[in-house]
Structure 1
Amino acid sequence: MPLYSIGGLKIWMEPRYEPLTSRSQKYRIEGGAEECDLRAVYTDEEWESAFARYKDAPRGSVEYMKTGARFYTAALALGCFYLHSSAVVCDGRAYLFSANSGVGKSTHTQNWLKRFGSGRAYLLNDDKPLIRLVNGVYYACGTPFSGKTDQSRNESVPLAGICFLSRGSVNEIARMDKGDVFPLLYEQTVRPPREDDMMKLLDMAEKLIEDVPFYRLTCTPEEESAEVSYAGMRPGC
Structure 2
Amino acid sequence: MADKIIEVNSIYEKVHEYCKDYLTDEPADLSVEMTAEDIIYEKQKSDSEFAYEGKELPNFSDDLLEETAVYRKIAEYMPNYDTFVFHGSVIAVEGQGFLFTAKSGTGKSTHTRLWREYLGDKAVMVNDDKPMLKITDTGVIAYGTPYNGKHRLGCNMSVPLKAICILTRGEKNSIVPIGKTEAYSMLLQQVYRPQDPLQMAKTLKLVDRMAESIELYRLACNMDMEAAEVAYNGMKG
Please indicate, yes or no, whether the TM-score normalized by the shorter chain is above 0.5: yes
* Candidates 209, 219, 222, aligned match of 1:207: 209
Range that drifts further, 81-90 or 129-138: 129-138
Deviations 1:17-37 (A, max 9, x none): 54x433311110014xxx322
Q: What residue number does 2:74 align with?
A: 71
The residue correspondences of 1:43-58 to structure 2 (distance < 5 A) are 43=35, 45-47=36-38, 49-50=40-41, 53=44, 56-58=59-61
Q: State how far apart, in whole Å, the 2-side matches of 1:218 and 1:23 are.
A: 35
1:86 counterpart = 2:89: yes
CA–CA separation in structure 2 for the residues paired with 1:192 and 1:48: 18
Secondary structure at the counterpart of residue 7 of structure 1: coil
Is the contact between residue 169 and residue 220 of structure 1 (CA under 8 Å) also seen in structure 2? yes
Question: Is 2:6 the counterpart of 1:7?
Answer: no
Query: What SS does the aligned partner of 1:139 have?
Result: strand
Residue of structure 2 in register with 1:225 after alignment: 227
Per the alignment, do residues 12 and 173 of structure 1 end up closer, same or farther by CA in structure 2, a change over 3 Å counting?
A: same
Deviation at 1:166, TM superposition (A): 1.2
Q: 1:137: how far off?
A: 3.3
1:21 aligns with 2:16: yes
Contact 2:127–2:148 at 8 Å: present in 1 too?
Answer: yes
* 3-state DSSP of counterpart to 1:9: coil
Give 1:100 deviation, angstroms. 1.8
Q: How many residues align?
A: 224
User: Which residue of structure 1 lines up, in the alignment, with residue 169 of structure 2?
Assistant: 167
Q: Flag the structure with higher helix content.
A: 2
Alpha-carbon deviation of 1:50? 3.7
- Aligned counterpart, 1:140: 142
Alignment partners' CA distance in 1, 2:19 and 2:136: 23
Aligned-residue sequence identity (percent) comes to 30
Q: In the superposition, relative to structure 1, how do residues 217 and 159 fare at CA in structure 2: closer, same or farther (>3 Å)?
A: same
Q: Structure 2, unaligned stretches of length 5 or more?
A: 47-57
Indicate the residue corresponding to 2:34 in structure 1: 42
Query: Contact 2:42 / 2:69 at 8 angstroms: preserved in 1?
Result: no
The answer to whether the 8 Å contact 2:9/2:33 transfers is: yes
Change (3 A) 1:217 1:41: farther
> Normalising by the residue count of structure 2, what TM-score does the alignment of the two structures yield?
0.88
Q: Secondary structure at the match of 1:149?
A: coil
User: Normalising to structure 1: TM-score of the pair?
Assistant: 0.88
Alignment of 1:186-205 (within 5 A): 186-205=188-207
Say whether 1:99 aligns with 2:121.
Answer: no
Name the amino acid aligned to 2:123: A
Unaligned runs of 5+ in 1: 1-5
The residue identity in structure 2 corresponding to 1:130 is M
Q: 1:207 to 1:47 in 2, by over 3 A?
A: closer
Letter of the 1:65 partner, please give it: T
RMSD: 1.8
